[in-house]
Amino acid sequence: MDKIIVRGLNLWYGDFPALINVNADFKEKKITAIIGPSGCGKSTMLRVFNRMNDLIEGVRVTGEVDIDGTNAVSPEADLIYLRRKVGMVFQRPNPFPLSIYENIAFGLKIHGIERNADALAGVIEESLRRVLLWDDLKDKLKRSALRLSLEQKQRLCIARLLAVKSDVLLMDEPCSTLDPQATERIEELMRELKNNYTIVVVTHNMQQAARVSDETGFMLLGEMVEFAATREIFTAPKDKRTEDYITGRYG
């Protein structure tokens, strides 16, 4: 079943076309990787899905991004609901300068999800358990989140999204600042999370895309050149540009 359906998506930064007639279907409870050279539109497309590009002056978008029956790029879209439903994990972990406890509670308060102290504690425990942090942090919830390791910070940022019941997780180079061991553990977490969440990950690391994703899209100069099952993209690409990128002859 498709979770996100993209049709005829175009985006301009002023007069510059950053996305050109992009079409793609992102399946529910699967991991989709988006690969391509720097500046090809990968992160721009990701930010369309929860309207983060709205914060950039001069951006213009046409086309349709259907997420569970709602066109996310429509002027009538409920942005508060959309950004709760479609969460974003950034290249560098960005915990708030608050306690671990308050980092997770913050999102619930912002979205107006009222809970008593006991219910809130339960949500925080559940969220930390899902990202495999509870056992390490259950006695340190009042500690500043800024004191965590990079890997723990990234897991905490994911836990914040799970607490507000996001069901689409957008990950923009989530492992680029992590060492190989931490990267492996985050990839294991992604595989676990896809049982309940739809994940779209932008990565320059083609080995990572091959390891964790079910489907892969290759972007070049703002276009979605090819979109298929990951095994097919990496072993039998249909477009020569995809083959050139995969084999290192381009990009």
Select from 196, 87, 124, 137 the least CA-distant residue to 115: 124
Span 2-54, pLDDT tens digits: 999 999 999 999 999 999 999 999 999 999 999 999 999 999 999 999 999 99
- What structural domains and CATH numbers belong to the chain? 2-246 (3.40.50.300)
The model carries a pTM of 0.93
Residue 40 burial (C-beta neighbours within 10 Å; 0-12, 13-18, 19+): buried
pLDDT at residue 225 in the model = 98
Low-confidence ranges of the chain (pLDDT < 50): none
Q: Residue 62 in contact with residue 7, Cβ under 8 Å? A: no
Q: How far is residue 195's CA from residue 190's CA, in Å, rounded to a whole number?
A: 9
Q: Enumerate the β-bridge partners of residue 223.
A: 220
